Structure 1
Amino acid sequence: MNSRRLSQFAVPAGVIMIIVLMVVPMPTFLLDLFIVLNIALALLIVLISMQVRKPLEFSVFPSILLLATLFRLALNISATRLVLLDGDAGAVIGAFGHAVVGGSLVVGLVVFFILIVIQFAVITNGAGRVAEVGARFTLDAMPGKQMAIDADLNAGLIDEPEARKRRAEVTAEADFYGAMDGASKFVKGDAIAAVVITLINLIGGFSVGLIQKGMSPTDAINSYSLLTVGDGLVSQIPALLLSVATGLIVTRAAGDQNMGSLVTSQFGANRMAMRIGGVALLGLALMPNMPMLPFLLVGGGLLFASSRVPKPGAETPETDAETAESTELAAPDATETLIAEMRVDPLELALATDLVDLVDAAGGDLLDRVRALRRKIALELGVVMPPVRTRDDLDLPLSSYVIRINGADVARGFAPPGTVLAIGDDLAALPGREGTEPVFGLAGKWIPAELRHQAEALGATVVDRASVLVTHLAEVTRTHAGRLLGRENVRQLTDVVRRTHPIVVEELTPALLSLGEIQRVLHRLLDEGVPIRDLVGIYEALSPAAKSGADLDRLVEAARSALGPAIAARLAVDGVLSVITLDPRVEQILLESVRVTDQGDRLAIDTQSLEALVGDIADLSSRAESQGYAPVLACAPRLRTPLYRLVHAAVPRLAVLSYSELSGGTHRIETVGVVNSGYTLAA
């Protein structure tokens, strides 16, 4: 039988043995063996309680406490049976009854009741109160801890497995302190039971000696009452040890060290107190009528200990070895270091050396804003933005920054230290450097931060450096969201859908589409500015479409059709969707020109006509934006994909929707332009 199977049967076998001890008489040798085992078990529990770093490392303690208490009571019953029947309860109890207390019943009873008072009135009451308060405080703090874990998860500081682990620890901590609150009652009840059992045994043993055995009172006391006291002392020593272990566990604060290390380090942090105490004891030794030797020994010992305890922060040889080993591993040419430097981060923000103050813990809040941005992007697009690696780059020009995706530069910006960006028309009177708002391309000027109020008085919009940078990062993330969605991210998102809608996932993958094909669809949706939060709706739309093949254009259109109302609602402003439509004649010619190629649907029209068409669409879009509209281009479903490919390069902000995506919402549709340029399009 292997060790695992043995451990599974050990506890049930122990419980059965305890029951047998209560009902079946046993030889004195076995009783001696079990009594020593009981003492050893109690001592072991105390030592483990001192070595654990936090209470949850000994989470089985409440159950062990119950079993140990039951074991000790079973030994009480067995010993009582042997004492009353045979007048002999083994060598251990006999030694405690005669040798430990000198054969004196009065001394034995005094020692026994002193142990009871120490256990019941001091340790058990205090431990029970601490356990009760700990359970109450732990349960009260549980919602706050859960919210903190959720906040760290949403901010990207931890991943989902780590969040589940921390939630399990919070739940286990609450269960542990709740169990300890109840387990402390076992110890208190055991102390009461010990007094009652001892009194009953004293009366019963004395009665057996006098009545049944015909002994004199002195002989009855020597034969029975001393054995009863010995039995009580034998049972109370393990009980006292368990009470101490209970107090150690419930008063133990979580830390990175065991109790011995903490005591040594914290006494080392108060070396002066030890020295003052040693000098005070040496001074008491010089007082008249005081025993000099004990005070000299203890005072000298304190002074010696104060010079030997390690100073705070002192490193042990083991720590020095670990530090040397980690330094060796961190050498510039170490394999692990090179591999870490070779790794390409999905999203990176490189700052010039004079912009490091933005991430300085003393005053910069850029990192906090980036963490908040991750949550915003997740709720907006349905994509968990990868952690942004922020670092300084000596190669960058001063006051500049670079945003990189998978190691490639995708955007650059400028944010001089000590300045703010003022956006407005009448800024000539303000000193500063001309600049441009990186997202919308608005002209502005970087002015000294102390001139903020003057710029606002001139009607300018003033934006601080961190806001400019975070806004730029947000726009880059939205624009390149498809590139940031990796295969592993798709798997994680699919697993989330599987938990709530398992049939939807099982029907789609891997039977119809692989994760790679799903990733391509999600990439296209994100590239076209379509959020993928409604993964259930997307997967349900992909399943019937995928039965006819894995053509990417058709799958994307199926997903967009399912998300149509949400897409249109997102583009509407104040419930109004501003639409640019195609003249029916133009639309018909374009429909007839659609050709299926290896790269998807394309418009087979001569270059001059296409340029004229795109120019007309760009003019209409620009005119509508200048009038305060946020226009979209609407067309037939068959035409949407090739028309989007044509228009996107020239007018990247213009969304292209099919007619089917415009219906089903609560928004109102308003036409702000018609593409009817008068050009003759050749089919």
Structure 2
Amino acid sequence: MKPISSHFGSAKILNLLSRSSDIVLAAFVMIIIGMIIIPVPPTVIDVMIAVNLSVSICLLMVALYIQKAVHLSIFPSILLVTTLFRLGIEIAATRQILLHADAGHIIEAFGKFVVGGNFVVGGVVFLIITIVQFIVVTKGAERVAEVAARFTLDAMPGKQMSIDADLRSGTIDSSQAREMRLALQKESQLYGAMDGAMKFVKGDVIAGIVIAVINIVGGLIIGNMIHNMSMLQSAKVYSLLSIGEGLITQIPSLMISLTAGIVTTRVSSEKKNTNLGKDISSQIFSHSKGLILASCVTLGLSFLKGFPTWIFIILTIAFGATGIRNHFKKKKQAAKAAAGGMGPSAVDTDVDGHSVVGGGADDYALTLPVILETGKNLSNLIKKEKGSASFVEEMVPKMRHALYQDLGIRFPGVHVRTESTTLEPDEYSIFLNEVPIVRGRVIENSVLTNESEETLKRYTLPYPTSKNMIGTAALWVENRYVEVLKKAGIKYWKPLDVMILHLSHF
């Protein structure tokens, strides 16, 4: 038996639709306009309502998986088309309700099944959904869109100058600069369009309320005066249909509003293959202490009189187990990182372009721009206590930032190799593209000072000498005299600071 798709030629149809997407969109807009003008049978209204509901669900699901707002840059245009589509459905359904008291099976099902056939309950549910959508979701998303548009437009000149500076310094090439400018342009256009598009959502909510009220009032008048129904009977027939229509249009409208809120409030993530759910779980469930405290609070709530104990016990176990698991997981990772720092493996850091690595050149497969290689004593000094973290994640980035501020050129990331077998214990070497350029030496248990010999003699400080990075004499003072240097106001540098100075001079 041939597959069903072969009988309908679904592959050919989908291929044709994808190639003629512009014609499909134009035809869809014409259908919407036709729904507003021409009477539409209930079956067609059911189809349109199903399409409206499905499209809203699809957009909401897509919004949950975007990494940044610009990945759904067509959303303002989609928002306009879907808003017009809902208004067309509401007008077509209103015409059928008032003329024939029949607007299709979906509206009738919503009027009877969802609210139990009670038009009072239906009216209350409709008002609650509308108020939540209008006051909470739409109003908040509208404000976020306004602020995002303003901040994005204000930041454009600075971002453009940053791209130009990176291009001049050689950090990026012309094609990358062009792509970054296009992305910046798309971002500014998106937030500017979202600022105006949120007015569509706001107007759609107001129109839904007005149309529902008109349907109810018009239905009461038509039922009582034309069809000779009692007011109660007219209310039961027309109000249920009107409320069903209001619910079936407001629920997709609410999902579109949620989609707009997610898009406008989405903070860009630099991680690959991430989504809103992953970001929420990684940021909330990573705080072990917060989860453990939450479990304590829910445990206390379980003892309150009248509260269902088993629900809060389950929540307590869930919060507590997650918090304790994350706590021990972090401890295990920290212990592993600390152990790795003493051997040949790498100690991962959160700073892009930096790592503390044990071993020689075999640890790298690619050529690295700048490498700082250290001897055994300096390696131990870097790894001592939290030395590796402060050196790689604080001192080196501060040096790079200072050089960028002074020169306007981005200093490349510095990779640190520890325990080099080719260097003396107190030596360090700087490599450029894996080629050794310069060596330096520090004196163990001493600090470097730039004061003159006369000044140090005045304070009776012993000072061994060596050559500094520019070839002149460098004076070293033992660590036991650091307090004397502090009281005298003499500037000094520790061994790790000396390497940073040499890197910045280099």
TM-score, normalized by the shorter chain, greater than 0.5? yes
2:295 maps to 1:275: yes
Q: Tell me the CA shift for residue 236 of structure 1.
A: 1.7
Change (3 A) 1:365 1:153: farther
Q: Distance in 2 between matches of 1:404 and 1:368?
A: 20
Structure 2 counterpart of 1:233 = 247
Structure 1 counterpart of 2:335 = none
Percent identity for Structure 1 against Structure 2: 35
Structure 2 counterpart of 1:508 = none
Task: Tell me the amino acid that sits aligned with residue 417 of structure 2.
Answer: R
**SS of equivalent residue, structure 2 residue 326:** coil
Task: Give the gaps of 5 or more residues in structure 2.
Answer: 1-14, 330-343, 347-359
Change (3 A) 1:147 1:298: farther
Q: Distance in 1 between matches of 2:321 and 2:484?
A: 62
Task: Tell me the amino acid that sits aligned with residue 181 of structure 1.
Answer: D
**SS of equivalent residue, structure 2 residue 318:** helix
Paired residues of 1:153 and 1:163 also in contact (CA < 8 A): yes
Q: Distance in 2 between matches of 1:185 and 1:353?
A: 65
**SS of equivalent residue, structure 1 residue 37:** helix
1:517-554 CA-partner distances (Å, limit 9, x unpaired): xxxxxxxxxxxxxxxxxxxxxxxxxxxxxxxxxxxxxx
Residue of structure 1 aligned with 2:316, choices 303, 312, 328? 303
Paired residues of 2:69 and 2:263 also in contact (CA < 8 A): yes
1:242-641 pair list within 5 angstroms: 242-255=256-269, 258-264=275-281, 266=284, 269=288, 270-284=290-304, 287=305, 290=306, 295-306=308-319, 309=322, 311-312=325-326, 341=364, 343-345=366-368, 348-356=371-379, 362=390, 365=395, 368-369=398-399, 389-392=415-418, 393-405=420-432, 407-417=434-444, 418-420=446-448, 431-439=462-470, 441-443=471-473, 445-448=475-478, 450=481
1:466-502 CA-partner distances (Å, limit 9, x unpaired): 8976787788x7xxxxxxxxxxxxxxxxxxxxxxxxx
Change (3 A) 1:367 1:447: farther
Higher relative contact order, structure no. (Cα contacts within 8 Å, ≥ 6 residues apart): 2
Q: Tell me the CA shift for residue 295 of structure 1.
A: 1.4
Q: Distance in 2 between matches of 1:95 and 1:249?
A: 32
Paired residues of 2:292 and 2:320 also in contact (CA < 8 A): no
1:239-260 CA-partner distances (Å, limit 9, x unpaired): 2233333344444444555444
2:65 maps to 1:65: no
2:128 maps to 1:114: yes
Q: Tell me the CA shift for residue 188 of structure 1.
A: 1.8
Q: Distance in 1 between matches of 2:156 and 2:147?
A: 14
2:104 maps to 1:90: yes
Q: Tell me the CA shift for residue 150 of structure 1.
A: 7.2
Structure 2 counterpart of 1:22 = 36
1:640-659 pair list within 5 angstroms: none
**SS of equivalent residue, structure 1 residue 70:** helix
Query: How high is the TM-score relative to the length of structure 1?
Result: 0.53
Change (3 A) 1:54 1:425: closer
Q: Tell me the CA shift for residue 80 of structure 1.
A: 1.5
Change (3 A) 1:448 1:193: same
**SS of equivalent residue, structure 1 residue 397:** coil
Q: Tell me the CA shift for residue 207 of structure 1.
A: 3.8
Query: How high is the TM-score relative to the length of structure 2?
Result: 0.69
Change (3 A) 1:70 1:156: same
Structure 2 counterpart of 1:182 = 196
Q: Tell me the CA shift for residue 93 of structure 1.
A: 1.3
Structure 2 counterpart of 1:74 = 88
1:356-401 CA-partner distances (Å, limit 9, x unpaired): 568955368466446766887888xxxx987665533232013323
Change (3 A) 1:378 1:245: closer
Q: Distance in 2 between matches of 1:224 and 1:278?
A: 47
Q: Tell me the CA shift for residue 202 of structure 1.
A: 2.7
Change (3 A) 1:409 1:98: closer
Q: Distance in 2 between matches of 1:99 and 1:79?
A: 18
Paired residues of 2:375 and 2:421 also in contact (CA < 8 A): yes
Paired residues of 1:423 and 1:442 also in contact (CA < 8 A): no
Q: Tell me the CA shift for residue 118 of structure 1.
A: 2.5
Change (3 A) 1:464 1:232: closer
Paired residues of 1:423 and 1:443 also in contact (CA < 8 A): no
Q: Which deviates more from structure 2 when the two are superposed, residues 160-169 or residues 347-356?
A: 160-169
Task: Tell me the amino acid that sits aligned with residue 439 of structure 2.
Answer: R
Change (3 A) 1:473 1:97: closer
**SS of equivalent residue, structure 1 residue 283:** coil
Q: Distance in 1 between matches of 2:370 and 2:113?
A: 77
Larger Rg: 1
Q: Tell me the CA shift for residue 28 of structure 1.
A: 1.6
Q: Tell me the CA shift for residue 29 of structure 1.
A: 1.4
Q: Distance in 1 between matches of 2:477 and 2:91?
A: 89
Change (3 A) 1:33 1:273: farther
Paired residues of 2:399 and 2:504 also in contact (CA < 8 A): no
RMSD: 4.7
